[in-house]
Amino acid sequence: MHCSFVDRDRYGRLVGNCNRADGRSVQKWLVEQGLALDWPRYSNGAFAAEQVSAKAAHRGVWQGRFDPPWDWRAANADKVETVSEQSTGFGLLGSGCNVKGNISVNSGEHIYHLPGQEYYDETVITPSKGERWFCSEAEARAAGWRKARR
């Protein structure tokens, strides 16, 4: 398999294109199998034909009825609880990703906070504002964030 990363999304995650060893697109295959959806907002319909095929053949998610995630989120925005603080103390969903990437209200600076620092516990991460969790200090620095002074 070969992947090339082409961008970062608004949360700083890598966005890429991957091809299998035989040269076929992984994204295309996933949509053909009904294991992923073509999201026109981002793909510009690149996998629309594969989605039509998967839907007609009732493959993957197309075996039953469901709402595309973006439609469900839009229809239920007032009912969805967002997680702004971790409850486990062990990082995002217990994954060990416990470095908080916060954007300063005053300066707009991207600052990361480590467990044990002065304002770590009070710092709330709001992904919709571009804030995010990191799995290591090195990851935060590589994304261009600076360490909190206290």
Give the pLDDT confidence score for residue 80 in this predicted structure: 59
76 pLDDT band (50/70/90 cuts)? confident
Answer with the residue of higher pLDDT: 41 or 91.
Answer: 41
Cβ-contact 112, 134 below 8 angstroms: yes
Q: Which residues make Cβ contacts (< 8 Å) with residue 69, sequence separation at least 6?
A: 37
Q: 0.85 exceeded by the pTM?
A: no
State the pLDDT confidence band at 92, using cuts at 50, 70 and 90. Answer: very low
Amino acid at 2: H
Sheet order of strands, 110-113 included: 132-134, 99-103, 110-113, 146-147
What pLDDT was estimated at residue 33?
96
List all residues 6 or more positions away from 74 whose beta carbon is below 8 Å from its beta carbon.
none
Taking only the tens place, the pLDDT of each residue in 4-61 is 887 777 667 777 889 999 999 999 999 999 999 998 877 888 999 999 999 999 999 9
- How many whole angstroms separate alpha carbon 74 and alpha carbon 72? 5
Cα–Cα distance for residue pair 150/26, rounded to 1 Å: 44
Counting residues of the chain whose pLDDT is more than 90, the rounded percentage is: 39
- Per-residue pLDDT averaged across 99-111, rounded? 92
